[in-house]
Amino acid sequence: MTTLDRPALILIDIQKAFDNAAYWGGERNNPNAENNAGELLRIWRDNHLPIFHIRHCSSNPSSLLHEANEGNEFKEAVKPINGEPVIRKNVNSAFIGTDLKDRLDSQKITKLVIVGLTTDHCVSTTTRMAGNFGYDTFLVS
């Protein structure tokens, strides 16, 4: 297998805070997303493919996604294990203010498979930017 055949799995903001439907204004339309992401994660781990966990860290102390709050933690189905990189961000893109692009490029990764809980902000922004950077990008529904 060449490095070009090694797509990276990017798991975006699969965090406990998203369990609080009232805080976010309603139920999610994808209640099985974290379990589906967990199954993909298992496949990537079994095949020793690159994995990147993205964690949103709000700068607002009252946000459920602030690092001091339990909601900032990853959901059980997708918790990182030793050696899997966790990239912290505080904006809607996993590429802005992080070293994600440098990490992907240093490993000569050209294909990305992206999963997340909410597509209307961080997942969609990261996916669009990945395409703009020239990555062959796949968003899992």
Residue 1: pLDDT band (50, 70, 90) is: very low
Over the stretch 23-68, which tens digit does the pLDDT of each residue have? 767 777 777 889 999 999 999 999 999 999 999 999 999 999 999 9
The secondary structure of the chain in percent helix, strand, coil, rounded to multiples of 5, reads 35, 20, 45
Residues 110-133: pLDDT tens digits?
A: 999 999 987 778 999 999 999 999
Q: Enumerate the domain spans of the chain.
A: 3-139
Instruction: Say which CATH superfamily domain 3-139 falls into.
Output: Isochorismatase-like (3.40.50.850)
| DSSP code at position 138 | E
pTM for the predicted model, two decimal places: 0.92
- Quick one: which of 1, 2, 7 has its CA closest to 136? 7
